[in-house]
Amino acid sequence: MTDRRLRIIIVDDHTVMRAGVVALLASEPTIDIVGEAGDGRAAVELADRLRPDVALLDLRMPVLDGVAATAEITGRGGTRVLVLTTYDTDADIEHAIEAGAIGYLLKDTTRDQLVDAIHAAARGETVLAPRVAEKLVARMRRPAPVALTAREIDVLNAVADGLSNADIGRRLVIAEATVKTHLLRVFAKLDVSDRTHAVIVALDRGLITRPDP
């Protein structure tokens, strides 16, 4: 714990939720809530004016979202951003951390956990909800993404469309033998042995996409 009261701002576009967080922390003797805001732009302005130790930010907000607000606040220095949100997708977590958030908590966090996290954030320590930490670890353990060439992706998309090698050659204006070569390289990169599994793996990894039906 620090010897002085930490100055924080609370930012959430849901008034009831914001009021709940304020009520949760209002009796904490080590924390001083110096401001509130309901959107990302107001959060940036508030942080500029008040220079709090920690900004407690939601992610999905009007005017300026939490990620963009985090980037602006942390870019100015002095204020740590601690995300407090209901969203825990890989993309949300990654974008917030990349924008400069010192921590990422979910709204099922207990009062004591929240207080401890605010103090840790003020000290410059990374704070992650257990579920968020698990997701980050799982993401780090995934195989490195396979790099397919633009032509290989064209061939895969054609395979996903149900075209034969001869049809793919005509569509892409390349020889059928060249199509086979591209497919062999794709099989090797994706560690599959046939066209069907190549498409399945490519779709699963987001290497190709299919239009909505």
- DSSP-derived 3-state class of residue 18: helix
Among 120, 141, 162, which residue terminates a domain? Answer: 141
Are residues 106 and 200 located together in one domain of the fold? no
In a domain, 210, yes or no: no
Q: Say yes or no: 164 and 133 in one domain.
A: no
The CATH number of the domain holding residue 91 is: 3.40.50.2300
pTM of the model: 0.66
Give the pLDDT of residue 213.
52
Domain boundary among 98, 121, 141: 141
Q: Do 88 and 172 belong together in one domain? A: no
Assess whether 137 and 154 both reside in one domain.
no
The token pair at 166 is: 């001869």
Residues in CB range of 45: below 8 A, 6 or more apart: 37
Q: Does the residue 212 lie in any domain? A: no
Whole-number Å distance between alpha carbons of 151 and 94: 30
Within-domain flag for 211: no
Q: Assign residue 154 the CATH number of its domain.
A: 1.10.10.10
User: What is residue 108's DSSP assignment?
Assistant: T
Same domain flag for 76 and 163: no
Tens digits of per-residue pLDDT, 82-122? 999 998 888 888 889 989 999 999 999 999 999 999 999 99
71: pLDDT confidence band, cut at 50, 70 and 90?
A: very high
Of 111, 141, 171, the last residue of a domain is 141
Does residue 78 lie within any of the structural domains? yes
For residue 33, report the phi and psi dihedrals to the nearest 5 degrees. Answer: -80, 110
Query: Do residue 125 and residue 154 come from a single domain?
Result: no
Domain that includes residue 164, residue range: 150-204
Q: Distance (Å, rounded) from C-alpha 37 to C-alpha 11? A: 5
Residue 74 has pLDDT above 80, yes or no: yes
In-domain check, residue 26: yes
Instruction: Write out pLDDT tens, residues 169-211.
Output: 999 999 999 999 999 999 988 888 899 999 998 888 888 887 6
Residues 71-86: what's their mean pLDDT?
94
**157 shares a domain with 128:** no
Residue 60 resides in a domain: yes
Contacts 24+ apart (CB under 8 A), 42-50: 42/11, 43/9, 43/11, 43/69, 43/73, 44/69, 44/72, 44/73, 46/9, 46/11, 47/9, 47/73, 47/76, 47/79, 48/76, 50/7, 50/9
| Same domain as 181, residue 130 | no
